[in-house]
Amino acid sequence: MEHISVSLVSGAIPKDFSTSYSSFVFDEAYRLAKRGLNIHAIRCFSEKESTSFGIYYHGLDSYLKLKYVPLLIKHYNLFYKTGYFLDPSQVVFLSNYAQTVANVTYKQNLRLIHAHFAYPEGFVGFLAKKEAKRPLVVTVHGVDILVDQSINYGVRLNRKIDVTVKRVLNNADAVIAASTATFNEVHHIVEDDEKIHFIPNGVDLQRFNSNINFAYLSEKLGLSKLIVIFTLRSHEPVYGLEYFIKAASIVVKQRSNVFFVVGGDGSLKKYHEKLAEELGLSKKMIFIGRISRDEVPYYYCLSDVVVVPSVQEAFGITVSEAMACGKPVIGSNLGGIRDQIVDGHTGFLIEPRNPLKIAEKILLLADNPEEAKRMGLNGRRLVEEKFDVEKRIDRIISVYNKVLMQ
């Protein structure tokens, strides 16, 4: 792609395919680099410059350096208005990060800044935009834009950060949202509708497909003759795994040939394991823990039904991944999940926090394998049409071109 060079602000973007944390940012950067864009990722810790999979990586020179003081003084009014002067260490960090982004942008002659998450990366990008005089694109992902007080979800629950997010998004040259929920919330914040872009997250249709041979995994887990119900969620309050576990306890009382597989790690994992044991699921449910990115498609294909029981979800790429593998999905009727599941066509939408409804739909699909297969095929077609990652990359490049022509 001619003359498009990007200063990518992502504090935790990985360097390869081995990790799942912030993998969505890496996937996007990797594909942009493959398209010929010059991508320079600036992370939020000290490291030497390096290159990986066509992406150039930069880090902070040092956490404390006097050369970042001028930026702090110059833009003190921004810190003051948002209250950051109350936390000196955060002020220094953000100033350091922003000056590093501006320096890399200058040195590499990069044409635009793209920050993933409105905070803190978006604020860093905002400061760097002022220093480097480059346009700023911000992608919101969920926790930076949505709030749910019932589970203490969302950085904007903090009033100071809420003010910052609003300032950042209104000063960005383009804002990308991946779901109807995040898009609508951005609309409530950003005054200029023209710079808001709805671009759904995408799935690698070659990596996620229904032709994967999962026999070795089925044999390894001893599940070859069972109906497998799978969920892949972090063990955190936002993802509602306790409702999945409670639903499983209902199902096993009615069907003896159903088995539940839980993938993922997190702070509530031990609690969920104990809950499963207390509900008599020790022989009916297995907790796999963290699943490598290479193995994830095999687990989808191993399963007969995938469940996404979140109580808040900005998008939920798990839904599209499962559908790309030809599986029906039962998901909570909220956020980005309802952008992906067509109720009764590719799976079922159920009200959040309702184990009985989850169990009801699992039993329905277990009792009607042909219907489950039909939904799985419908899901694959829908993903091909709406959630192909390459189509997302096309649209991101279009946003870049639009911003650069302004």
Q: How confident is the model at residue 1 (pLDDT cuts 50, 70, 90)?
A: very low
Tell whether the model's pLDDT for residue 76 goes beyond 70: no
Separation in Å, CA 83 to CA 119, 155, 171, 259, 352? 14, 15, 18, 51, 36
210 within a domain of the structure (yes/no): no
Where are any strands of DSSP class E within 218-371?
Answer: 227-232, 258-263, 285-289, 305-308, 329-332, 347-350
Q: How many domains does the chain have?
A: 2
248 within a domain of the structure (yes/no): yes
Domain co-membership, 233 together with 297: yes
Domain co-membership, 177 together with 285: no
Query: What are the start-end ranges of the H helices in 303-354?
Result: 317-324, 337-340
Domain co-membership, 155 together with 197: yes
pTM comes to: 0.92
Predicted local confidence at residue 109, as pLDDT:
96
Domain co-membership, 397 together with 358: no
152-156: long-range contacts (C-beta < 8 A, 24 or more apart)?
A: 152/237, 153/237, 153/238, 153/312, 155/119
Tell whether the model's pLDDT for residue 82 goes beyond 60: no
pLDDT in tens, 190-236: 999 999 999 999 999 999 999 999 999 999 999 988 999 999 999 99
Domain co-membership, 152 together with 9: yes
164 is in which domain, residue-wise? 5-202+388-405
395: its two tokens: 């649209």
The mean pLDDT value for 116-121 works out to 96
Domain co-membership, 166 together with 193: yes
Predicted local confidence at residue 85, as pLDDT:
47
Domain co-membership, 197 together with 257: no
Tell whether the model's pLDDT for residue 17 goes beyond 90: no
208 within a domain of the structure (yes/no): no
| CA neighbours closer than 13 Å in the CB half-sphere of residue 157 | 11
pLDDT in tens, 291-302: 998 999 999 999
Tell whether the model's pLDDT for residue 274 goes beyond 90: yes
Predicted local confidence at residue 32, as pLDDT:
97
Structural contact between residues 231 and 262, judged by C-beta atoms closer than 8 angstroms: yes
Predicted local confidence at residue 23, as pLDDT:
85
Domain co-membership, 264 together with 380: yes
pLDDT in tens, 310-356: 999 999 999 999 999 999 999 999 999 999 999 999 999 999 999 99
The mean pLDDT value for 33-46 works out to 96
pLDDT in tens, 349-406: 999 999 999 999 999 999 999 999 999 999 999 999 999 999 999 999 999 999 999 8
In DSSP notation, 16-69 reads SSS--TTHHHHHHHHHHHHTT-EEEEEEEEE---EEETTEEEEEES-S--GGGH
Q: How confident is the model at residue 174 (pLDDT cuts 50, 70, 90)?
A: very high
Tell whether the model's pLDDT for residue 80 goes beyond 70: no
Predicted local confidence at residue 95, as pLDDT:
85
In DSSP notation, 251-281 reads HTTT-TTEEEEEE---TTHHHHHHHHHHTT-
Share of the chain above pLDDT 90, in %: 84
Domain co-membership, 134 together with 224: no
pLDDT in tens, 128-145: 999 999 999 999 999 999
Domain co-membership, 160 together with 235: no
